[in-house]
Amino acid sequence: MSASRTAARITSHLGVMVAVSVVLGVVVAGLAIPFAGLVGLSAQGVAETMDDLPEELETGDLAQRTTILDVDGNTIATLYDQNRVEVPLRQVSRTMVKAILSIEDYRFYEHGALDVKGTLRAFVTNQASGGTVQGGSSITQQLVKQTLINQAATEEEQAAATADTYARKLTELRYAVALEEQHSKDWILERYLNIVYFGDGAYGIQAAAKHFFNVNAKDLNVKQSAMLAGMVKNPYGYDPTNDKARAKDRRDVVIQRMADLSVISQKRAAKLRKQGLGLDVQKNQNGCVSATAPFFCDYVVNYLVADSDLGRSEKARRRLLYTGGLTIQTTLDMDFQNAADTSVSNAVQPTDGAIGGLAMVEPLTGDVKALAQSRPMGRKKKQGETYLNFVVPKEYGDSNGFQPGSTFKPFVLATAIEQGIPLNTQIASPQTITLPISSFRDCSGPIQSTQDYEVNNSTGYGTYTLYTGTQQSVNTFFVQLEQRVGICKPYNLAVKMGIQNLKGKTARSLYEVPAFTLGVADTSVLEMAEAYATFAGRGVHCDSRPVTSITGPNGNTVKEYDSSCERVMQATTADGVADVLRGVIEGGFASAQALDQPAGGKTGTTQSGRAVWFAGFTRNMAAVSMVAGVNNLGQPESLVGKYLNGRYVASASGSTYAAPIWGDAMKAIDDQLANENFVAPTDAVVNGVQTTVPSVSGMTIETARQTLKDAGFGVSVGSSVNSSLSAGLVAYSSPGGGSTAAENSFVILYPSNGVPPVVNTPSTGGNNDGGNNNGGNNGGNDGGGNNSGGGNNGNGNGGGNNGGGNNG
């Protein structure tokens, strides 16, 4: 390299820096390069060193705070690695700009990357005062340093970015020169104000203004600006939350500096120095623990982390959430959330040995309006706090769920209606029934088994219709109905309606069993609310949706989340289910929970009282409540013997403990829901298409069953009756032969016991409509179960071919 070219590079790269360093000699703090680093360094060596440095500094995007909003646009949570909200320079008060320039670099708009005059003046001023009054580095140099610190990903990189070495300072200067060449002064100042740390977790001027004074950066006054400008030199030491006196002293230094530069008058400066700091410190809220609705927030975060559209890996997606400055618009309605929180907390205390939960889902959109849990989010276990989210699917939470009991029966009910079985169909339902497992069909056909399946009711037996059998929640009724419709279709319907734990081969091996209708598959309150919203939506199922849109820091749309809906049953089927389930509230088990508008629902109680449920809906809102017994590890156990909000649980039922939670929450929002009636079911759904019943008197049970099946009827077998026919033959049927009944309805066969009737007994001719001798509809909770246990809450080990029964 020629001498002239070397000289040119020295002039271009170093300017007057070397000369200044030589003049100042030992001044280290006030210079980009200490004199000691230049001693013995040739001009060509300096130039070549500068040539080896990169010419550009990759500034990249700054980490910004993400905000989560409720449906009305109110902030419910913030997520961040650095609490920062970027603002353009035009949204920073001119007073703040003048304050930061006064104390850090008042000739910023007049010099290049290195301010020679300012450095000399800072040295003289600081030496005279015996301290650091004025900064020596230009704002551009400071921006370079802050950028390198901000980009440091490891401790080693962090140390290199702050090391007091010639190499680091020379690198910073080269980058500063590049920034000055590539960007305007306004851009550099704007970037500086957004990147710098102001202390107490506040990064950038907007976050600092909101944190310390609860104002926006554009509204900062002189006092506020002076305090913030003074903090950047030592964010911890001048932090007013650590030391107000020291923060005020530093602020006053800045105020005086502004007066000395004629930014403000000396008179005004004297007046301002007498005033206090005027703080209005806002608590930093980062993450879901401090959120308005913590478990809904947790659900939102996990929902988005699972969305591959937001990044290639889970790590990348989580980083986007915590650094991307996003605005996440959710479906949460705080009126509904407050109602849910209140109803749950009034029923179950955090330290009770149970989890209470409630979810609300809007039909036809899937919008999740509320998620409540009795145990608050936190780490104080003695106060009942937990980080485990028990109310959402395992995919987004921390629990496998709990057995839902008889709230699963409507899946079988809906399938029966879809298959044309009229609601007025009668099925003889004894106290206990034992059925061959091989008489049930799964998706592969008849189940291959030589075992029997035994189920009993807790109270009551008799002949029930689909109305009364559901409203009284009769186990022996529903296993016979399931026997008729098969297990496959109601199982698949439950999957389509949102029950996640039923998916997959392993789940089918556990839960596609006769006990399916009794609710042995673990699930969450959110899944059940999503499912019951399908009935309210007249057969249209929508996936649960907690988020509607995400926008970036510049207002650009990152992603929109449209409702994902499909019809999974005929509207007339859903109308029939709603008509049946409204009877549970209008005079049934949950009559105390009646609203000012039509509503339907279903109770559920699992075997041994491990969990109690109530799933209900109006035309425009579905909600599900649950109380489940758990130990300190979150593992399921019986509610019996526990205390719920001071109330001893002698026996657990959905109507006693879960339904009131549902009722309290829904009554609180009743006036916010449009009062809409359900659509009445068609006559075909209620009564079916009438056809003639074949005469089967005198036939064997199997022959009669096949004859009726060929005619389009289902069959159930009632108790034996007195008859002169041989024992085991059909004495008569109900409806009797020759009469009319709806297609797909059940005909009840009454076998002879071989004992002739005494008086007033039914004719053995076979054409009598008859009835049975086993009493009326005594109702009661469908309880009991069989001899082989049920599912295991939380672990997904329920079912088997002999899954346990569940109370209504």
Tens-place pLDDT, residues 607-622? 889 999 999 999 999 9
Compute and round to an integer the Cα radius of gyration of the chain. Answer: 38
93 and 47 in one domain? no
Render pLDDT for 550-582 as a digit per residue (tens, 0 to 9).
Answer: 999 999 999 999 999 999 999 999 999 999 999
Q: Band of the pLDDT at 633, cuts 50, 70, 90?
A: confident
- Residue at a domain's end among 228, 255, 273: 273
Residue 221 is classified by DSSP as: -
Q: CATH number of the domain at 161, please.
A: 1.10.3810.10
> 273, 296, 326 — which closes off a domain?
273
DSSP three-state, residue 490: helix
Is residue 599 a contact partner of residue 618, using CB atoms and an 8 Å limit? yes
Q: Could you tell me if 136 and 256 lie in one domain?
A: yes
Tokens of 558: 């990152």
Residue numbers of the domain that contains 178:
83-273
Is the model's pLDDT at 420 over the cut of 80? yes
Query: How many domains does the chain fold into?
Result: 3
Range with the largest mean pLDDT of 6-10, 644-648, 745-749, 782-786: 644-648
* Strand (E) or helix (H) holding 69: strand 66-69
Does residue 477 sit within a domain?
Answer: yes
In a domain, 317, yes or no: no
Residue 182 shares a structural domain with residue 89: yes
The reply to whether 654 falls in a domain is no
**Is residue 499 assigned to a domain?**
yes
* Residue 474 belongs to some domain of the structure: yes
Same domain for 48 and 96, yes or no, is no
Distance of CA 527 to the CA centre of its chain: 12
For residue 772, give both structure tokens. 């049975």
Position 588 scores a pLDDT of 78
Q: Is the pLDDT of residue 42 over 70?
A: no
Based on the fold, state whether residues 163 and 211 are members of the same structural domain: yes
DSSP string, 315-365: HHHHHHHHHB--EEEE---HHHHHHHHHHHHHHS-TTSSEEEEEEEE-TTT
Same domain, 40 and 104: no
Same domain, 108 and 248: yes
Please indicate, yes or no, if residue 384 is contained in any of the structural domains.
no
From 35, 52, 69, the end of a domain falls on 52
Kindly state whether residue 58 falls inside one of the protein's structural domains: no
Q: Is the pLDDT of residue 792 over 60?
A: no
Both 97 and 146 in one domain: the answer is yes
> How sure is the predictor about 387, in pLDDT bands with cuts at 50, 70 and 90?
very high
Q: Angle, to 10 degrees, between the axis of helix 525-536 and the axis of helix 571-585? A: 110
- Both 43 and 95 in one domain: the answer is no
Give yes or no for residue 134 having a pLDDT over 70. Answer: no
Asked whether residue 364 is assigned to any structural domain, the reply reads: no
Which pLDDT score is estimated for 14? 46
The arithmetic mean of pLDDT across residues 699-705, rounded, is 95
pLDDT tens readout for residues 725-742: 999 999 999 999 999 998
For residues 47 and 100, membership in a common domain is answered with no
CA atoms within 13 A on the CB side of 505: 1
Q: List Cβ neighbours of 410 (8 Å cut-off, separation of 6 or more).
A: 470, 532, 535, 577, 580, 581, 602
> Are 213 and 149 in the same domain?
yes
pLDDT (average), residues 473-500: 97
Q: Are residues 246 and 177 in the same domain?
A: yes
What was the pLDDT predicted at 631? Answer: 84
In this prediction, residues 445-449 reach a mean pLDDT of: 94
State the average pLDDT for the chain. Answer: 87
Q: Has residue 537 got a pLDDT over 80?
A: yes
**Can you tell me the distance from the alpha carbon of 710 to that of 688, in angstroms, rounded to the nearest whole number?**
17
314: left (phi over 0), alpha (psi -120 to 50) or beta: alpha
166 pLDDT tier (thresholds 50, 70, 90): confident
User: What is the per-residue pLDDT for 677?
Assistant: 95
Residue 787 has pLDDT above 80, yes or no: no
Residue 469 scores a pLDDT above 60: yes
pLDDT, average across residues 57-84: 94
Q: Is it the case that residue 216 has pLDDT exceeding 70? A: yes
Distance CA 798, CA 510 (A): 6
Residue-level pLDDT at 795:
36
Which pLDDT score, from 0 to 100, does residue 173 have? 85
